[in-house]
Structure 1
């Protein structure tokens, strides 16, 4: 494998990234964090009108470009209703289930900049009061936010400055264990953002001359379907989304390898690029798994749907319990970064 791989710094970056609230639509702070990191490396960056960040490293071939993307936007919620009982009804941002946030600590971000803490609970939480506490449906009607403030009605909540449309973010509860596990919400896809930042740092520190001009899109609308569908330079030939590998029954992906997606809900990924990833992995002793994600779409598939004439691929670290209480292992981070390290120095597949 390549040298100068600092997995401790990658894990530190993940910890920093997941600790910055950034549901889709509320990503300015985390984008600024990434921009500041890249500017310290003297990497050229620019913002697109959607708020995403594009970093560019010139290569020997300026006529054919590559683009890699990972997204900093996460799951979250908005205040749907200020309820008469002084609690909040939510509307979800991104594709996940209410049961995955039951009991979670959260923050309510007001338009004025004030932040209040709270807890997401069933209305029928107390087993001493509600006979159906265990059987009632976990849905928008029954789930609510208990605000950590002395409020008993909607008027008192509004006096705090809380209103419909305020963003609600979830406590990531990040933990990094001594034996290499990383447990946190929002590893999708901040683990991959950290990997790309480390990759860019290696390029700069090692003075690597890339064969093709390479762009890195840090997208901020992937969870709602269109983060990577624009701002793709016309010279781009290969476009690779770096996102999580989903784990579950029938899947081959695990927490210790890089997952190479062959197909998701959008259809097959480019066959030649997939074989190229496999060849690189086998030549460099990189552990990988091929997999199909049946209920999944990426920024690469969004780019294809929007009409770009590109070769598209999807790889990423295997992550357990996606869109819930996520976990991965440093081995998956290492193998993903190594595959990308050799990929960006390789020749294109067409």
Structure 2
């Protein structure tokens, strides 16, 4: 295995003190140009790479931003990470990505690990199991800037960027009502999480405003919001004595699972049942019929998080700020 080149290796090669090498590699004015050039030449020759984690310990911070998300496979989170990484790179930061796998204990463990990295800051969306955000106080106690997005712990005061999930669900239900639908179901998950709770509230409010009664039988809460969960929920709904004529699912994947089941049963979409999802990932236009969605404004979400985190890192803002971003309905064939 190739050995990592250290500052002491360079110092030994040049027969000078390692503190002089360290200062030169930090472009300190206390090192003469001749010595500085000599050290950089030897460092390049030996293939020296700076230990960014060690630098973080010395400086009590680093140029590394952490991103902690529940699920890397989910379109919203993978796209967010891609966009955020680009912004960070353009501003001289690197990014470390962590996945909680929607597990509270893993999330706590990761937070404890991240403290030791002396991060410049952390962007986080909590797991679906998280009901207590106390572990994030460890970051605040160490003055590590923290911004939450999408899924937010409500017992922690911190900057956050969220989508208006209430309005998204409200608009989706109103769309189906305008199409003549009267028995509209909601397929959701983890209603204690702000995202899914707000969508449930928007769904109920749209029914009430249109003088339609909320029917408990039309609200299906699944363990998750994957395609299989959508398929299974659709099966439950179609076994009811009075079946729905519209279905709102809290994710694209769940909505596509609904479409898969309805097509198996030879149920026409949207003539018999309209289907609407959330997110607007690439599979929405790959399924048949193409899926109408409440689109998540991921770029705006990313920009908002980056701005709030930079404000904290650079010390230009000491107060917490909440930004709410509006989604939009993308009309396709499923309605």
Query: Structure 1 length normalisation: TM-score?
Result: 0.28
More helix by share: 2
Q: Which one has the largest radius of gyration?
A: 2
